[in-house]
Amino acid sequence: MTLYKQAIGCCKRFLHYAFDYETPKTLVIPSLGVGFVFRFTQFLVVMYVVGYVCVVQKAYQDTDTVISTVTTKVKGFAFTNTSDTEPRFWDVADYIIPPQSDHSFFVLTNMVVTPKQVQSHCPELPSPSTTCVDDCNCVEGRSDPRGNGIQTGLCENYSTTARTCEVLSWCPLEIDTKLPEHALLVAAENFTVLIKNSITYPKFNFHRRNILPHVNSSYLKRCEFSRLTDPHCPIFRLKHIVSEAGEDFQDMAVKGGVLGILIDWSCDLDWWAGECLPKYSFRRLDNKHPVNNVAPGYNFRFAKYYKAADGEETRTLIKAYGIRFDVIVFGTAGRFSIVPTIVNLGAALSFLSLVRREMFRLASETRSLQQTQNNTSH
Amino acid sequence: MTLYKQAIGCCKRFLHYAFDYETPKTLVIPSLGVGFVFRFTQFLVVMYVVGYVCVVQKAYQDTDTVISTVTTKVKGFAFTNTSDTEPRFWDVADYIIPPQSDHSFFVLTNMVVTPKQVQSHCPELPSPSTTCVDDCNCVEGRSDPRGNGIQTGLCENYSTTARTCEVLSWCPLEIDTKLPEHALLVAAENFTVLIKNSITYPKFNFHRRNILPHVNSSYLKRCEFSRLTDPHCPIFRLKHIVSEAGEDFQDMAVKGGVLGILIDWSCDLDWWAGECLPKYSFRRLDNKHPVNNVAPGYNFRFAKYYKAADGEETRTLIKAYGIRFDVIVFGTAGRFSIVPTIVNLGAALSFLSLVRREMFRLASETRSLQQTQNNTSH
Amino acid sequence: MTLYKQAIGCCKRFLHYAFDYETPKTLVIPSLGVGFVFRFTQFLVVMYVVGYVCVVQKAYQDTDTVISTVTTKVKGFAFTNTSDTEPRFWDVADYIIPPQSDHSFFVLTNMVVTPKQVQSHCPELPSPSTTCVDDCNCVEGRSDPRGNGIQTGLCENYSTTARTCEVLSWCPLEIDTKLPEHALLVAAENFTVLIKNSITYPKFNFHRRNILPHVNSSYLKRCEFSRLTDPHCPIFRLKHIVSEAGEDFQDMAVKGGVLGILIDWSCDLDWWAGECLPKYSFRRLDNKHPVNNVAPGYNFRFAKYYKAADGEETRTLIKAYGIRFDVIVFGTAGRFSIVPTIVNLGAALSFLSLVRREMFRLASETRSLQQTQNNTSH
């Protein structure tokens, strides 16, 4: 019996413990002033949540960063006929180096060509450290990092007026100081490039291409990107890209440079948001100012190797100046998710509680202070 | 004395202010109904925190995105013997262009070769804009962007039936309209590629390779990736990659394409989570449908330059069709961190408080309403 | 009249509902012990918010990940004169392959050259699967994936002691087993590389270069990176990079490898934070240990194609060993933002409320328990 009673008592206590609903006693204070301030603060917090968190920052969303692939295809040809070089016709296979790469392409616009180089020895280019009077000034086997080869220990006539140390190198040496003032491939500004970009937001399993679904093939064959009239055409005129970046093509073509084609895929993937579209922008990425700079512009050296009938290897060294276009794809997509929503609402709620509590404490303290003062004055 | 008393009083008041523990008076309401609803809501919130936040979303973790390097090495050779071309043996140095690059490799599968091109002039390929009757139809110096060179102003016989404007260009011109129906390097589907991928999560100082620590060299020399039997072998057969992407290799090889090899390194780095392993997936990244597309497939032009004994430069122009394999590495790693844990728990807690408060308000309002009604009815 | 009164009543009730300020009744408990524990917990929470959230984790900030472009320029030359090869001078155009690429550059340090290859047939390299006694052992048209060509069905003398199946291939075949023990381009360790890196944080519209604004051109022309004396010089000696990664250059140069040049642009962009500067670090990215590895080191094959006077194509196959330097740019920038601040403060606040409530419950329960005990003991 006693055990049975005890069991019931225990059970009851447990039910009480589990389901008794404990709640703070509250006072209702009919004060218009405090009430107004409280409601106003509440209003501010709600405004913050609705206006800033939800509309501006979209903090209720889970986010993911873009992964992308890019293919580019340049079109155009040029004919050069300057006093220094032979007349020559240039097409894509000549001026795009290397012929393919991902995320960037290089367009040759200017060059210093040194043909018929062979492995031999020749006098160094004159400079304070290479000029010599006789063989004693030249040390066999020395290699000056600013020089062009390994010294043979001989002092040779570079010209009728200058004598320099002889070096073992690809001879004749490249003379890259007299770069043409005007770019060689002036016509490069009218080349066009087709950029195909395919992106993925893996977290949302979302795929998209920069060639939009509603665009048809015939439009793509004749369109050209323009921010106002054709903002979704993936074919860009090089001159247009450079001028949108605030630069002059002919200016940039002389010494080369790096130009960023930025594709922003920032998207709101909730169904009530609009379509997800790429936004193009262009920016020069290298430093064109001569101060606080080293090796301005953009250039690199490469060689074409030939073998003569007797088996001797000759090469044509080319110092290529040009514009490297880097296609940079970036962006963040957001989609409604319960966790950030709860986190943001929860944070706002705890501020509301704080406001409520602190305001009451203030109110009650003020009142008790007044009462104390009243008591004292009595 | 008075000063001393005042000091003590002041001190006491401070102690009271600092350590008096203010707490709301609470009512314990022994209502099974309200209590049950309250506990149930509490249960829901706790479930949300434990189940969704912790288990599904792992919101208690700090995250970092992956940085990675990739090296690839293709193996295989092919022999081609079609009616159009001479018999030829192909190895890696022939069909991988460029020979090395990071994050992607291109396998040549089809091509249009135009050998023995020299800088000269020849009649244009016939098209509505290039056909002419006599020299009057051709303007010297004009360069049509859809043409192949700079017009010389002459009208020449292209064939016995067609006359076209002569252009200055690399001649003979490339005729890329009759692309072989079947890919040239049919055997390319049996080439294999070894992909070495090394990743880092810099925030967690975590490094990993896709060649797992427990795998030995002899296995690596003979294995081949298969989702079921060898999911961690880093050697992939090209045909397998393409078929996993839902494409047919021979079909894709004709006009080329871009194929993504996606490596997902999403990892849970907490010690109680399992190992961090790469997950491979494959997806075609270019648009193969002819509608809503331009320049379908993937191709680019490059040239091999030769110099004849008399110094004249000739080139072999190659329009290379093939599959570019892009290795795309992505992923996010998470590790327990106190800040997101606190943030998520805090948000859940403030919901619990809200539930408690609002539920009581509802309960008390209901009761007072009932009382009012009782009073009225009396 | 009644309607008017009702309207006023309704209005009053609404005002009461809207502006009555409901607040919990509180008890002030003058207990030093409980109060101390409460204040101490409060102190801990505040410390967490100020110290950890704000100072260590900077959780009040909105973050963005870096996007970047890199250009590299290597300088240096070498002279090789080993017993195997002819004396040869090497400059940038010879040892950087491909001549330009973004985010990485490859420096040739060792090689196996197979000159004068032509499309023909020759006996296979001896191995268990290629040796033969007579033609019956060789199957016409068979192509062994580990072999070097397509079998012609003949069995030929490879040397005076070995007979192997003849294959159709580029002949003579490459023999890559006797790699020189010492790297060919020993001098490569003294090459220098200029790395130009330009970064953007698109969310904050923040751009920066690794060549800092206060650095002048003359310094840039003669400086060399050193962690202690020149931490912001963008010119690196290859030997220095490799040794900072804990490797030996000459050792690594024999079989090649991949070396990461990591540039960390993690920045605090709030105005009270200091400047945003790149931090360089270096790490070997491939696995150098022979166990648990396949194809150790880093190499690739490429060919230089020549055409003889009679039109026959010959090539020089080069198996290039070398170090690929990958420039990996990463980083996260943070800037003060109201949303994460509110979220973190809110979470901390809700913990404070929890502490307050739970502590009181504990205190009151203890007291009521004591009273019950007292009652029982009476």
- pLDDT tens readout for residues B198-235: 999 998 999 999 988 888 888 888 899 999 999 989 99
Which stretch of B20-24, B310-314, C30-34, C254-258 has the lowest confidence by average pLDDT? Answer: B20-24
Contact B344 C347 (CB under 8 A): yes
What length is written for chain B? 378
**pLDDT value of position A15:** 61
C65 neighbourhood in chain B, CB within 8 Å: 65
The mean pLDDT value of chain B amounts to 84
Query: pLDDT tens per residue, chain C (378 residues)?
Result: 566 777 777 666 666 655 555 555 555 555 667 677 777 877 887 777 777 777 777 778 888 889 899 999 999 999 988 877 788 999 999 999 888 888 899 999 999 999 899 999 999 999 888 888 888 888 888 888 888 899 998 999 998 888 999 999 999 999 988 777 888 999 999 999 999 999 999 989 999 999 888 888 888 888 999 999 999 899 999 999 999 999 999 999 999 999 999 999 999 888 776 788 999 999 999 887 777 778 888 999 999 988 887 878 899 999 999 999 999 999 999 988 887 787 777 777 777 777 766 666 666 666 655 555 555 555
ipTM of this complex prediction, to 2 decimal places? 0.84
The model scores a pTM over 0.90: no
3-state secondary structure chain A: CHHHHHHHHHHHHHHHHHHCEEEECEEEECCHHHHHHHHHHHHHHHHHHHHHHHHHCCCCEEEEECEEEEEEEEECCEEECCCCCCCEEECHHHHECCCCCCCEEEEEEEEEEEEEEEEEEEECCCCCCCECCCHHHCCCCCCCCCCCCEEEEEEEECCCCCEEEEEEEEECCCCCCCCCCCCCCHHHHHCEEEEEEEEEEHHHCEEEECCCCCCCHHHHHHCCCECCCECCCCEEEHHHHHHHCCCCHHHHHHHCEEEEEEEECCEECCCCCCCCCCEEEEEECCCCCCCCCCCCCCEEEEEEEEECCCCCEEEEEEEEEEEEEEEEEECEEEEECHHHHHHHHHHHHHHHHHHHHHHHHHHHHHHHHHHHHHHHHC
Contact A293 C217 (CB under 8 A): yes
B87 neighbourhood in chain C, CB within 8 Å: 119
**pLDDT value of position B362:** 65
C300 is in an annotated binding site: yes
**A interface test, pick of C89, C117, C305 with most A CB neighbours within 10 Å:** C89
| Among candidates A28, A292, A354 on the partner chain, residue whose Cβ is nearest the Cβ of C349 | A354
Contacts A–B by Cβ distance under 8 A: 197
Model confidence at B21: pLDDT above 90: no
**C interface test, pick of B89, B341, B344, B357 with most C CB neighbours within 10 Å:** B89
Nearest CA in chain A to C76: A145
Contact C67 A330 (CB under 8 A): yes
- Shortest Cα distance, chain A CAs vs residue C89, angstroms: 6
Contact A39 C19 (CB under 8 A): yes
**pLDDT value of position C70:** 93
Which comes out higher in pLDDT, residue B147 or A279?
A279
**pLDDT value of position C220:** 86
Strands (E), B269-359: 279-284, 299-307, 313-330, 332-336
Beta carbons of C76 and C108 less than 8 angstroms apart:
no
Contact C25 A27 (CB under 8 A): yes
Contact C301 B91 (CB under 8 A): yes
- CA-wise closest residue to A154 among A143, A146, A164: A164
**C interface test, pick of B19, B65, B72, B236 with most C CB neighbours within 10 Å:** B19
CA B131/CA B134 separation, integer angstroms: 9
B363 neighbourhood in chain A, CB within 8 Å: 21, 23
| Among candidates A143, A286, A343 on the partner chain, residue whose Cβ is nearest the Cβ of C343 | A343
**pLDDT value of position B315:** 92
CA A194/CA A190 separation, integer angstroms: 13
Number of H helices, E strands in chain C: 7, 18
Q: What are phi and psi of A132, to 5 degrees?
A: -145, 165
Contact C150 B88 (CB under 8 A): no
**pLDDT value of position A263:** 95
A13 neighbourhood in chain B, CB within 8 Å: none
pLDDT digits (tens, 9 = 90+) for B27-44: 555 566 777 777 787 788
Model confidence at B366: pLDDT above 80: no
- Shortest Cα distance, chain A CAs vs residue B33, angstroms: 8
pLDDT digits (tens, 9 = 90+) for B274-303: 788 999 999 999 887 777 778 888 999 999
**pLDDT value of position A93:** 93
| Among candidates B69, B92, B339 on the partner chain, residue whose Cβ is nearest the Cβ of C258 | B69
**pLDDT value of position A11:** 67
- Shortest Cα distance, chain C CAs vs residue B153, angstroms: 33
**pLDDT value of position B19:** 58
**pLDDT value of position C363:** 64
**pLDDT value of position A20:** 56
**pLDDT value of position C343:** 77
Contact B102 C145 (CB under 8 A): no
Contact B349 C350 (CB under 8 A): yes
A301 is in an annotated binding site: yes
**pLDDT value of position B25:** 56
Model confidence at B2: pLDDT above 80: no
Query: pLDDT tens per residue, chain A (378 residues)?
Result: 566 777 777 667 666 655 555 555 555 555 667 777 777 877 887 777 777 777 777 778 888 889 899 999 999 999 988 877 788 999 999 999 888 888 899 999 999 999 899 999 999 999 888 888 888 888 888 888 888 899 998 999 998 888 999 999 999 999 988 777 888 999 999 999 999 999 999 989 999 999 888 888 888 888 999 999 999 899 999 999 999 999 999 999 999 999 999 999 999 888 776 788 999 999 999 887 777 778 888 999 999 988 887 878 899 999 999 999 999 999 999 988 887 787 777 777 777 777 766 666 666 666 655 555 555 555
**A interface test, pick of B301, B318, B325 with most A CB neighbours within 10 Å:** B301
